[in-house]
Structure 1
Amino acid sequence: MVDVMQTYMQDAISLVRMHRTETDNHDDHGTTTDYGARRRATERQRIRIQNKEQEKQSFDRSLYQIKETPMQTLQVQSKKLNGLACDFCSPSNNEQHLNAELAQQDVINILRVGTYNKSLTKENGTFFNWIQSWFPFMVHCLRLTRFPLPQVADSVLKDDRLKNAIKISVEKTVEELKTNAGNDFDEDWQYEKTLKENKQRAQRLLLDMRSKISDRLLRFASLVIFKLLPSFMSGVIAHPAHIDMLKKTAAASPNVPLIFLPLHRSHLDYILVSFILYNNEIRAPIVAAGDNLRIPFFGALLRGLGAFFIKRKIDPVAGKKDIVYRAVLHTYMQHALAAHHNVEFFIEGGRTRTGKPCMPKSGVLSVIIDALNSGTIDDAFLVPVSVNYERLCDGNFVYEQLGEKKKPEKFTSAVSAIWAILNSKYGQMRIDFNEPFSLKNLIKAYENLPELNSIETTPHILKRLISARRLKHQPSTSSLYGTDVVNEEHRALVDSIARHVVYDCATATACMTTNAVAFLLLTRFRNGDTIDVLADALDDLRKTLHGVRTISFTGDSHSVIKYAVDLLGPNLITMEEKDGKTFITPVANIRSFIELSYYSNSLATHFVLDAVVMCTILKMTESHSCNSNSAGYQIKRSELMELCKKYCDMLRYEFLFNKPCQKLDNLLDDSLERLKEQYLLSIPSEANSMEDMKARRYYAHFDESSEDGYDIPTSDEITIALPEGGHGKRVVLSSVLAPYSHTYMAVIRSLDSLRDYGLTENEFIKVCVAEITKQVENGNCKYSESISTDTMRNCMKMLEKSGYIEVSNVGGTRIVALSKKYDNIDGVQDITKQIDSIVTF
């Protein structure tokens, strides 16, 4: 570009000189000669040709640079570091853990050896450098730190906890046999026989369960991953500041285990988390894996990489605890923690089938808390981990959402799946390690809070909530919680920590290209539109997310959309040229919309509270339950907040709306103000400003008898207007919750099939799937992704907890029936009316 500018300046100077010469000649001779005119014309023509040639060369150079420069959409960036510990529950040690310089750096690609771990690239002589230049991955893997990885299985069988559990199990079994036997029952002989059987079973369970983590296998697996992963993934992305925080925590407390709690999306999660940690010189964890993965070869491989296998269903007989299995698992984990093993388990239990976080399973976390309370470990650092993929490697869960059974993992299916993966492209995988926080400090903070779900984060309120309550530790062998959880405080503590972890993971999950594009298509452009319109919408979405959610891509929005469409493939999204314009359209069939919803739901969790408030306002205005005038709709704030909370309560098994240390009312107030700031609604009254909301919150915590002289605002009436300019965004927020509303209403309409007699859970699910499928095919429901068995089961949980239905277990089969109060036509209509008063489409 500099050369071109210099050429233009030289040409301009030449023209000025020529003009001066012409002027001088004209002054000297009065007129110019024909020869002079021809010469000047020839010179001007030569200059024009020269300029055109230079412009062509400059253009060619630009094209070459564009061609050789990697696409911007493949670069990732995260200037704002998310995932720091909650300041209220676990005061952050940012000054100690966070490297401010690293926090400002861009993310790194773990697959590029030497770009993320400078300490592993050493100068060691000419011959060594030659080997390193030819075999960089092998040299890197050989240099990795060797950590002690003790095997603890042998000590488990000698533990008093397990011996006591076997004794209790034997006594119960003998007692049952004695009750059913005749007078000739030999109790001593039966006791010895049952004791021997239980000991042998405990040994078999332990052999099937135990991890055989190996340093050599970890090194070999790292080398294989370095070689294979780039064939189907463009990068494994992490933030250097997150890695640095983990290193500092591990170095400061080498005998305190790190407990990694990832959200679970893919079978690759098992391997890649350990791969990233091990290659950054952090001790690889042992990993709780489902026993469905204990298949030939691959099961042994995972076991060597740290997996220990646990049953999906711990108690095979409903209503009867498997005391021996629980004790084996509990004792094995206690010994692993005592041996300073890091531990990884998936707090959701299994992989998410919908793309949004599942409700947490607290069993394994309770074992770790029990180990802390019993003194087995002095402390543990919890590390929430957010994992996301541009394209899911495990295929999709469409068939399961349509009601079909999950296909069990087999050796042949695993081989064929790996072969298919190696011959496809899946974009990037992004992993964010949240700031580690002390479990001991967190428990102390929670023990001092009488109401975990109604905490205000103002200092003077915190002082009023502090109390001296302590949890009682009651060891037991019959419960995975470490107590027979008659202690509801202990259960509440474990569940609150688990919910906090899942919430932290969800908010720190990075937005990938496919998440953004799928979200826009499903909420705003279900019928497609031009790429220019989508690019403008994507620009707007990125502005909305900026500073509050990690965006794992940069570059021009047109390029981002084309990249995401190409990655998702023509089975989900089509890109066509019509009349000189590029049209992006989702494939119009049920399976495609269900799969797209998986990627979209990652962002749905971010907008869910705003969507609840917006949908509730639309419900109140459309149902004419409020007065309207020229200024807008008159609504009572208390009624609005109450209906919003009912909506949240209805969807409590779908979304985590708040952390245990947050008050939902405050978050709903914040959402109302946020919608106002985005011009999706307006509140003309000055009395409803953000300052008034803050004042109302503050004064609400003073007793009415307070003599401080403060007047609590009493105005409840607000006027809400819906500006025309915000219509598009209001549609987006409505579309976030509309698929769930349609599913819930389909389940409610299916309750008629339960009258007078019950159905098995699977039969009732089939009835619900048929009902919502009919609505979709008839055009009464435009959201094909409403066909979701996961959402149906969550609705059934809500109905059960609300007392509308009863779920019993008969011979291992779950039976669903209407509760006695609602087992009639009027009862079903009453349920329908109550749910219909909340949901909006």
Structure 2
Amino acid sequence: MDMTRLEEVYKKWEQRSLCGWGEVSKSAEHGDNKDNNRLSQWHTSNAKNRKVKTRSHSWNFTLELIPDLVSFKTTAPVYADQSRVLRPFMGRCCTKCVPISRGMFYDNDAPSMRLRDLLKVPPSSGFISRRFPVVAYEYGRKHSFNYPPSEKVITSVLNSDRVQAAIQKSAMSEVDDVESQPEKYPMALQKHASRAYYLLSTMVASISNKLIAFTGWFLLRVLCNFISGIQVHTGQMAMVKQASEKDIPLIFLPIHRSHLDYILITYILHQYDIKSPHVAAGDNLNIPIFGWILRHLGGFFIKRKLDKEDGKKDWVYRAILHNYMLEVLKQNQSLEFFIEGGRSRSGKALMPKGGLLSVVVDAYMDGTISDAYIVPIGISYEKILEGNFNREQMGNPKVKESFLSAIHGVYKVLRGDYGTVRVGFAEPFSLQEYLQSAQPYSPLSSDLTCNGPRSPKMKSVGSDNSIYGTDIVRDDLRTVIKGLADHVIYDAVHTQSIMSTNLLSFLLLTKFRQGATIDTISESFESVRQQIIAHGRDVGFSGKAAAIVNYASHLLGDNLVSRRKGKITDKAVSDADEKECVMGGPTGNDMLIPNTCLPDIFELSYYSNPVISVFLMEAVIATAISAVSEHNLQIQHGHEDYITVSRDALVHKATELCDLLQFEFTFIPPCGSLQTIIIDALERLTSSEIIQHEEPNSTCLNSQEKSWADRLVSSTSWKDEDDEQIQPDQLLRISLSAEHVDKLTFLQSMLGPLIESYWIAACNLIRLMDRDLPEAEYTSKLLCFAKERVYKGLSSYAESCALETLKTTIRLFIHWKVLDVYHDAANKKMIQLKESYREEEKLNALIDKIEDFKL
């Protein structure tokens, strides 16, 4: 055989290997764990299907000539496991707050571990296993745990000193004069004691191993009818499993997106043989049948509103809730509660509530528990089971849950298609280590690694003023608890995966509000997907962008994304596309058009908002650039090559914007520096050449880059105050090339709806210039004004009239001391404008401050 023939054989086998590698990489993205033999068999059969033929004597000759090269070309690449390393591994502990916990359960192999779909039963041998795989799988998992009997818990809680003191205090407050009316006090005492028993008996959970096992079987049989898969990262679960084997309670803190969250996490833990936690659930879910199921799966029901009347504390209920949680932790049981409180109506993470978390901290402080492992959890749905929150965002009251509505909801869910669910478990970290490292002027203690007794430096302080009746009220400890809650939310958000519907909705609302072809959207889809991964965040999908875009638009539905049939105009279009077009299938020229009308825009925004957290700081910088330059970049493009802005002014403006949106996002963990992450975002935009550093002598590019790097290191390094030197202001060039202007506009559009909401709210403060208004009435007027602007076509973003965002603006103005709240004689909550802002000049200055960021 001559060398020409050898090169032909080589090229054929090279094509085979390249095709095989593409499929192996795709399988690795899905977490496929096939061994090399099976891959090799598939590789060979795939080659036959493609009708690639070789002669036996050519094959033998090649082996003799270059055996190593041909062996590489005829064997499936051993890259499946290595490619998994490319998947970002999310959820690592904070290096500043909990450095010891960061290495406690982590294994270097964890990032390369695969994803697992918990709706797929592992294969097993045997006749019964093959005929009834789900039953055999659940029956073979004979894992059960000890849970405290509810009767024992009730007795212990009712006999506690805190509950008895609360009963006596409530009885005495009911009787005006105990000395003159001694017969009334015992009656009041009995009344509140009976109420305490009733409250506790309706609250307490009663976990059943049998029901958990039955639910595991039931969910395996039922969930697959409307959910494509429940994905978890086996590396993350390995860390949680190790933590569960310690004799220390776990505190699971998921973000809240759906009522399925309660059952989903218990189901996942059951699949990994981890003890089920006691789950705090709203008492609105304590309805017939459904409430019974939740109770026996670990749910304990708490009131949404702890006190019957505003300004009057319900001491008995607070004491019962507090002591019940303490008793659960004392029995070495795990807890789970949603630190946001209720479900998010916007798709973004809500600001955390520290009430229940303070009880856990109190349990550590008073020695009830020696430690606890905190586990933030991020949950991502391709499609929310409960539908949407459009009614509530439009200002309509929430529909109360009932048995019939639950049945109707279940029936509706069973008939739907809700895609996949991805649940990310962050690395567990020690509460003890966090509290000790969070103390001001106190070095980090390392007694986590030794067996000696602990001696916490912070002590409980007796008081009746805590949110949930806890004794923790010291200001410094309140700050620590708030920091812990913020850290949990930050970690949970950065453990979330971006789903296909999230990314498609995001692109439709930021780049293609007027619609675009599938080919155009797919190109941007793939580009943003790569940027998400580059930011260290994972995506919950894989495959070709065009196929994913079609799939996501199908999940979102025609009411959110309409499709307009396109015509094939490109002669180079594939035969497959032409065939699909003839048969009525989707093609690359089909148009996808988002529904930007009320109220459907709220649902599309809900799916879009989780992506903002990935690009948040770049969006802040891009918006600050327009505010500092006072120019519309789209208009400036074509007239100038660049504009120049002050670096100090840009950083200052970005800080102002973060202050404006402080209740919308958790920009940094409590241990972080806002200045640092702003500079980091500047660096990322500099590396993409959108921002350039202007030097007096810019002839040497290397010198310019070195100067910028030196200043960056200097600004982010730790220095003593004595060594700190004032650096001269620097000028930055903002590129106005078409590509860079499009990128900046894309980033600015992420925050545009929020900024417009805050501007509208600021303009409406004039309503309070001459009178105070009830909070409900003022909020209603603000919402009506915002919706009217949308209907008249005056708003740039229809989603700017979302009720949830408008309520948050009021919270910000109260925090800024622009507004004040009080209760009138009828105990109605009133809102008033602060005296200093009743001057028109001062109010206009506030409006102008926000309008600077408005596009």
Tell me the TM-score normalized by structure 2.
0.82
Structure 1 residue 719 and structure 2 residue 732: aligned?
Answer: yes
Change (3 A) 1:545 1:449: farther
Partner of 1:188, secondary structure, is: coil
Counterpart residue identity of residue 568, structure 1: L
Q: Please tell me the residue identity of whatever aligns with 2:554.
A: D
| Higher-Rg member (1/2) | 1
Quick one: which amino acid aligns to residue 509 of structure 1? Answer: Q
Q: Which residue of 2 aligns with 1:493?
A: 480
Aligned pair partner of 2:762 in 745, 748, 753? 748
CA 1:173 to 1:478, structure 2 compared with 1: closer, same or farther past 3 Å? farther
CA distance in 2, matches of 1:688, 1:533: 39
Other-structure match for 1:647: 657
Matched residue type, 2:682 = L
Query: What letter corresponds to residue 217 of structure 2 in structure 1?
Result: L
8 Å CA contact 1:80, 1:104 repeated in 2: no
Matched position secondary structure for 2:590? strand
Q: Please say if residues 358 and 472 of structure 2, whose CA atoms lie closer than 8 Å, have aligned partners that are also in contact.
A: no
User: What letter is aligned with 1:283?
Assistant: K
Q: Could you tell me whether the CA contact under 8 Å between 1:109 and 1:235 is conserved in 2?
A: yes
1:672 and 2:682 correspond: yes
- Equivalent position of 2:789 in the other structure: 775
Q: 1:272 offset after TM fit, Å?
A: 0.4
* 8 Å CA contact 2:101, 2:428 repeated in 1: no
Deviations 1:569-597 (A, max 9, x none): 11111222222221111124222221111
**Partner Cα distance (2:373, 2:544) in 1:** 40
Q: How far apart, in 1, do the equivalents of 2:91 and 2:106 lie?
A: 11
Q: 1:367 to 1:820 in 2, by over 3 A?
A: same
Contact preservation (8 Å) 2:85, 2:111: no
Distance apart, 1:237 and its partner CA = 0.5
Residues 754-782 of structure 1, C-alpha deviations (whole Å, 9 max, x = no match):
23222222222222222222222333222
CA distance in 2, matches of 1:529, 1:480: 50
1:463-478 matches, cutoff 5 A: 470-476=457-463
The CA deviation string for residues 621-654 of structure 1, in whole angstroms up to 9 with x for no partner, is: 12599x9997844433322222211111111111
Cross-structure match for 1:591 = 599
Distance across 2 between alignment mates of 1:524 and 1:558: 17
Cα deviation per residue 1:74-121 (whole Å; 9 max; x = unaligned)? x99972211011111011545542343343132110111227xxxxx6
Unaligned segments of structure 2, at least 5 residues: 13-45, 53-82, 445-454, 569-588, 696-703
* Range with bigger deviation, 753-762 or 681-690: 681-690
2:428 equivalent among 436, 439, 444: 436
CA offset at residue 812 of structure 1?
Answer: 4.9
Q: Distance in 2 between matches of 1:163 and 1:357?
A: 38
Aligned-partner Cα distance in 1 for 2:198–2:611 = 44
Provide the residue aligned with 1:796 in structure 2: 810
User: In 1, distance between residues paired with 2:596 and 2:621?
Assistant: 30
**Residue 555 (structure 1) aligned with residue 543 (structure 2):** yes
1:156 match: 157
Residue aligning to 1:692: 711
CA pair 209-375 structure 1, distance change in 2 beyond 3 A: same
Q: Which secondary structure does the structure 2 equivalent of 1:593 belong to?
A: helix
Number of residue pairs the alignment of both structures matches: 738
User: Could you tell me how far 1:737 is from its partner in structure 2?
Assistant: 0.7
Provide TM-score, normalisation by structure 1: 0.83
Letter in 1 for 2:646: K
Distance 1:305 1:794, change over 3 A: same
Output one character per residue of 1:756-809: Cα deviation in whole Å (capped at 9) or x when no partner.
222222222222222222222333222111121111111101111111111223
Does the Cα contact within 8 Å between 1:161 and 1:477 map onto a contact in 2?
Answer: no
More moved, 737-746 vs 482-491: 482-491
How far off is 1:609 after superposition? 1.5
Quote the offset at 1:136 in angstroms.
2.1
Deviates more, 1:671-680 or 1:501-510: 671-680
1:495–1:672 CA distance, 2 compared to 1 (3 A): same
Tell me, in whole angstroms, the C-alpha distance in 2 between the residues paired with 1:558 and 1:819. 54
Q: Determine the C-alpha separation between the residues in 1 that align with 2:686 and 2:377.
A: 33
CA distance in 2, matches of 1:571, 1:677: 40
Q: Distance in 1 between matches of 2:86 and 2:783?
A: 41
Secondary structure of the corresponding residue to residue 137 of structure 1: helix
**Quick check: 1:369 aligned with 2:361?**
yes
SS at 2:829's partner residue? strand
Q: Which residue of 2 aligns with 1:566?
A: 554
Change (3 A) 1:76 1:222: farther
How many Å apart are 1:304 and its aligned residue?
0.9
2:216 equivalent to 1:222: yes
- When structure 1 is superposed on structure 2, of 577-586 and 335-344 the one drifting more is 577-586
Q: Percent identity?
A: 32
2:448 maps to which residue?
none
1:134 match: 131
Q: Matches of 1:566 and 1:697 in 2, distance apart?
A: 46
1:696–1:712 contact (8 Å) kept in structure 2: no
Q: Summarize the alignment of residues 208-219 of structure 1 with structure 2, pairs less than 5 Å apart.
A: 208-219=202-213
Report which structure shows greater RCO (CA 8 Å, sep ≥6): 1
Letter in structure 2 aligned against 1:696: S
C-alpha separation in 1, matches of 2:84 and 2:529 = 14
Alpha-carbon distance in 2 for matches of 1:448, 1:534: 50
Counterpart of 1:165 in 2: which secondary structure?
helix
- Call closer, same or farther: CA 1:812–1:217 in 2, change over 3 Å: farther
Partner residue in 2 for 1:20:
none
Quick one: which amino acid aligns to residue 555 of structure 2?
Answer: L
1:289-304 correspondence runs (5 A) = 289-304=281-296
In structure 2, distance between residues paired with 1:651 and 1:588:
23
Q: Secondary structure at the match of 1:289?
A: strand
- For residue 720 of structure 2, what is the aligned residue in structure 1? 702
Of residues 632-641 and 394-403 in structure 1, the stretch that sits farther from structure 2 once superposed is: 632-641
Kept in 1, the 8 Å contact 2:253–2:338? The answer is yes
Q: State the secondary structure of the residue aligned to 1:799.
A: helix
Contact 1:447 1:469 in 2 (8 A): no
Q: Assess if the C-alpha contact under 8 Å between 1:238 and 1:432 holds in 2.
A: yes
* 1:78–1:551 CA contact under 8 A, matched in 2: no
Amino acid in the other structure paired with 1:821? S
Deviates most, 76-85 or 561-570: 76-85
Task: Assess if the C-alpha contact under 8 Å between 1:680 and 1:726 holds in 2.
Answer: yes
- 1:228-282 Cα offsets, whole Å, 9 max, x none, are 100000000001111111111112x1x2110000000000000000000012100
Distance 1:144 1:107 in 2: 24
Contiguous gaps of at least 5 residues in structure 1: 13-54, 62-74, 116-120, 124-128, 180-184, 452-456, 458-467
> Structure 1 pair 469/484, CA: closer, same or farther in 2 (3 Å)?
closer
Equivalent residues of 1:384, 1:502 under 8 A apart: yes
Question: d(CA) in 1 for partners of 2:97 and 2:84?
Answer: 31
Residue 472 of structure 1 aligns with an amino acid whose one-letter code is: K
Q: Does structure 2 conserve the Cα–Cα contact (< 8 Å) formed by 1:206 and 1:328?
A: yes
Secondary structure of the structure 2 residue equivalent to 1:689: helix
SS at match of 2:477: helix
Gap change, CA 1:819 and 1:413, over 3 Å in 2: same
Task: Return the letter of the residue paired with 2:745.
Answer: V
Out of 614, 619, 627, the residue aligned to residue 611 of structure 1 is 619
CA distance in structure 2 between the partners assigned to 1:217 and 1:601 by the alignment? 37
Q: Is the 8 A contact 2:250 2:372 kept in 1?
A: yes
CA contact (8 A) 1:381 1:436 kept: yes
Cα RMSD for the two superposed structures:
3.0
2:528 paired residue number: 541
**8 Å contact kept, 1:379–1:438:** yes
Match of 1:822 among 809, 812, 837: 837
SS of aligned partner of 2:795: coil
Deviates more, 1:87-96 or 1:555-564: 87-96
Given that 1:391 and 1:514 are in contact with CA atoms closer than 8 Å, whether structure 2 keeps it comes out as yes
- Aligned partner of 1:598: which letter? Y
Partner of 1:29: none
Moved more, 310-319 or 487-496: 310-319
